[in-house]
A and B are shown apart, each in its own frame.
Chain A
Amino acid sequence: MSILKLNVINLEKSEYTGGKSSLCPGCGHDQISNVIIQAAWENGINPEGIAKMSGIGCSSKTPAYFLGKSHGFNTVHGRMPSVTTGANMVNKDLSFLAVSGDGDTASIGIGQFIHAIRRNLDMVYIIENNGVYGLTKGQYSATVERGSKKKKGAMNEQAPIDLCAMAVNLGCSFVARSFSGSKKQLTALLRAAMSHKGMAIIDVISPCVTFANNDESYKSYNYVKANDEVLHIVDYIAHFSPIEAVEVPAGEFKEIKLFDGSTLRLETVGNEHDPTDTVAALRAIHEADKEGRHVTGLLYYNPDKKTATETLGLTKTPLMALSESELRPSKESLVQLNDGFRTN
């Protein structure tokens, strides 16, 4: 008898692991990979039903390091959303779990990122955000803060693109920010994102240990630890175990019902944050930004938005599973078609 713990679908955690990472030792991305493994296992998602998607960059390499039982596609730079869109159109039953970086998303792929949000593609989109291009040896990316400085080279003087603020403005149905060093918060947010129907974005600050983990870098481990403005304490309560070991907090809290019946509990720590209010979300982001701080937690949530495939009114069966007789109109139909053209 196995002594290893099984999840709700009786799988060991090892069923969710992947290959050995080739990233720099200590990379924030590896911690995120571990959280992905943990969250998928704890949520009891069948790994066969997951499709791992990524673009190009350090972060986009990571799908090789988790969920080895899932199919995946390491696509081209900045174009992962379109490949995900096509796959989602023909198989809406797959659970799409995407990993991208700040270069992949905020620069080369910003157009596809925006349009995936606009369509409300049913996917989890994790941005492993470190403010630098790692694979090409440390150039600034478009998410680096004004005044931030990487290990070598000049200080950055351009304004950053805040992907969460942009996503909120575009009406993204689930927008969160976290930190690779906050394992508990990130796990709860990712589990909630996996329980959400529609596009769920988690912007995860993930320090680059090689090029930008110095204290003058706003995305370094020490800087984020010291300047993390936590919106609320998040706890995920799975639909299959409502009495999971989560203590009811003493103070005030809000509960958010997720699509699969699970709950995300938000315990107020400072000012109360209403995640259904876009203006509140933007205020939280911009006020933190003014003070050089990173606001983390569930920024915005809207469960009522139709997904891309719902908007199209697709038939129930995934399109890739339709039979030849459903996909090829009958011989008789072509006779009628030809006759129609002849008489018109």
Chain B
Amino acid sequence: MTLRVNDFTINISTANGTGSQSANLIILHSMYEMGVPVSGKNLFPSNISGLPTWFIIRASDAGYQAPGDYTHIQVMMNKDTWEKDLNNLEPGTIIIYNQDLKLPVERDDCVVLPMPMTKMARSISPKMAKLMANMYYVGALAHILKIDEGAIKSAVSNQFGGKEKAIEWNLQAIAEGKAFAEENWDYESEYLIEAREKNPNTYLIEGNEATALGAIYGGINMLSWYPITPSSSVAESVISWIPKLREAEDGGATCAVVQAEDELAAAGMVLGAGWAGGRGMTCTSGPGISLMSEFIGLFYFSEVPGVIWDINRVGPSTGLPTRTQQGDLSMLYEASHGDTQHIVLIPGTVDECFEFGWRAFDYADRFQTMVFGFGDLDLGMNRWSTAGFEYPDIPMDRGKVIRSQEQMDAITNYGRYRDVDGDGIAYRTLPGSGLDPILYRGTGHDEDGIYSEDPQVYLATMERLKRKINGARDLLPAPIIREEKEKNIGIIFYGSMENTIVEIDDMLEETGLSVSTCRVRALPYHSEVESFIQEHEKIIVLEINRDGQLFGILRKELPAHLLTKIQSVAYSDGLPARARIYTDLILKTLNGVKL
């Protein structure tokens, strides 16, 4: 028997609302505690209780963070998906199941390991049996994978922080599950978890929490939000962390939090806050961006700073609310009617969620415009490893704000929209300052902010706005480029695809290809993206959507002679990106197979 150490995927099938998330996180954290590179994906339904949920844990010494392409160990706790779960399995899969569900497991080609989980849980607490039953599969996995007992204990005590009774009961259930497996299963597993040296600085955190912390270190002082999956935890994290991290001398709040009546209002509040000199932010998902679009145009045209985080879920329409996608990118870039163009920051790691969380405010103030943060459910709501967030290395940039009469007097021929520095960015004054008051408006306006329908005035304004946002290109986060000498194939990608790209790259190189990668981290895209395209023979633009949205943007903005180089590989089924699927699509595209 060949052993597979730290290289396999576990799929745990449960029903939503049965408390399985605690059990799943205990498995994830105990492996992580042992220094094993591990990732966890929660595939949950749009429902509070009853619908099927899968949790996918992948251990990978290679550091692959995508859900694996095959399930090696299947845990079965859900009646409703029983048959389908069984039918999906490859021969040889280990099946651990709750035999109290009294359903047949007719897979002679698999390793079938039954355990009376509910019955055993009842002996600890009849009332809590349904919840506790999950801990028995933790015990079962601990046994067959040889997970360290100390790591399990530490994960349990962190999961139920401070609740002694819960820690005791859950540890007991795990021990009983382990003992049952030892006594009743005559099976030696080929899959093993083996401790690795752990970087003591690392920990796991969700992208949304990282974004929220970044926003707090960025000086957020107005948060407006309307609850929507998968962005709500950005707002909820800001709300829970602010009082712990910031306190005014008089004990009052330093950030106003308003749960808005809808996303339109949330965007309007960000606009009002930015206009009045604050650092306003809201977070939402695709449906919210659709609703906010009118205001987004007003941000752009009246030149008011603000930050909106879009945590992408699957569209169009209500779509698959609890699944992941990169389907909002082109909407963000050109949101609202008329000609517009917006800065979009695209983190691919939790460290970047934190960093772009604070930088977004600086960019908004600097360019006097609305800045999008663009994440997705996979990055936002799953837990990822970081070695610790880094403190902002520059002071806050509050942009071109005139705060005194002296500053005003230093500018000849001041006008709110007059480009005195030649960078497309004019100076602004704040309400309450008494300095050059104007009536901000979404209607046409001249350099002094006065209403105008003059064709030349309109033209000049629109050209300046274009220049202003274009000027941001090389000041925004540069792409992360991993380059091969050969400059043969280049893959351009972004966001949470970062979690799958290394595996895709390895799979492609196994076929003899030499592949460079370029992760775009902001729009409008950096000039290095264009150089990357220039330098490589063939370019694949890889995305988690149907239509190839970044591909569309590149095709519109690249010089014509580069267009023949780029090809789109776009695929989205709602699940986090799996390497095999994208690799096969890339190979087909390179081979000229019509997709």
Contacts and interface: CB of A to CB of B under 8 A. Distances in A.
Interface of A: 48-49, 51-52, 63-64, 68-76, 79, 81-91, 93-94, 111-112, 114-115, 119, 308-309, 312-317, 319-322, 324, 326-329, 331, 333-334, 337-338, 341-342, 344
Given A79-B295, A315-B252, A320-B278, 18 more contacts: A51-B432, A71-B433, A73-B272, A74-B439, A74-B443, A75-B298, A76-B294, A81-B265, A82-B268, A119-B258, A312-B258, A314-B252, A315-B248, A319-B256, A320-B273, A327-B221, A329-B246, A342-B201
Given A312-B253, A344-B158, A82 B272 contact: yes
Contact of A319 (B221, B258, B269): B221
A94 B245 contact: no
B123 to A, nearest CB: 31
B396 A327 contact: yes
Contacts of B431: 51, 70-72, 87, 91, 94
Contacts of A71: 429-433, 437-440
Contacts of B221: 89-90, 319-320, 322, 327
A338 B388 contact: yes
Given A86-B222, A315-B254, A319-B255, A94 B276 contact: yes
Nearest to A71: B431
Given A91-B432, A320-B276, A75 B252 contact: no
A82 B275 CA distance: 12
A115 B265 contact: yes
Contact of A326 (B248, B272, B295, B443): B248
A56 to B, nearest CB: 8
Given A49-B432, A68-B437, A94-B431, A313 B252 contact: yes
Interface in B260-299: 260-262, 264-280, 294-295, 298
B200 interface: yes
Contact of B275 (A87, A111, A112): A87
Given A52-B439, A319-B278, A329 B216 contact: yes
Contacts of B277: 90-91, 320-321
20 contacts: A68-B437, A70-B437, A71-B429, A71-B432, A72-B440, A73-B439, A74-B443, A79-B264, A83-B268, A83-B275, A87-B275, A90-B276, A90-B278, A112-B265, A115-B261, A313-B252, A315-B253, A319-B222, A319-B255, A329-B246
B442 interface: yes
A262 B438 CA distance: 30
B441 interface: yes
Contacts of B246: 326-327, 329
Contacts of B276: 51, 86-87, 90-91, 94, 320
B432 A93 contact: yes
Contacts of B396: 324, 327-328
B8 interface: no
Nearest to B432: A94
Interface residues of B, number: 74
Given A64-B451, A76-B442, A89 B434 contact: no
Contacts of B158: 344
A158 to B, nearest CB: 25
B161 interface: yes
A333 B202 CA distance: 17
State the majority secondary structure of interface residues on A: helix
A89 B273 contact: yes
A86 B391 contact: no
Contacts of A315: 248-254
Interface in B346-361: 358
B254 A319 contact: yes
B559 interface: no
Contacts of A69: 434, 437
Contacts of B278: 86, 89-91, 319-320
The 4 closest A-B pairs by CB, nearest first: A86-B272, A82-B268, A90-B278, A315-B252
A89 B280 CA distance: 10
A114 B440 CA distance: 24
Contacts of B227: none
A316 B272 contact: no
Contacts of A317: 248
Nearest to B429: A71
Contact of B261 (A70, A112, A338): A112
B593 to A, nearest CB: 46
Residue among A90, A312, A337 with most chain B CB within 10 A:
A90
B213 interface: yes
Residue among B161, B205, B260, B276 with most chain A CB within 10 A:
B276
A96 to B, nearest CB: 10
Contacts of A83: 268-269, 271-272, 275
A76 B298 CA distance: 8
Residue among B249, B261, B264, B358 with most chain A CB within 10 A:
B261
Contacts of A79: 264-265, 268, 294-295
Contacts of B442: 74-76
B222 A90 contact: yes
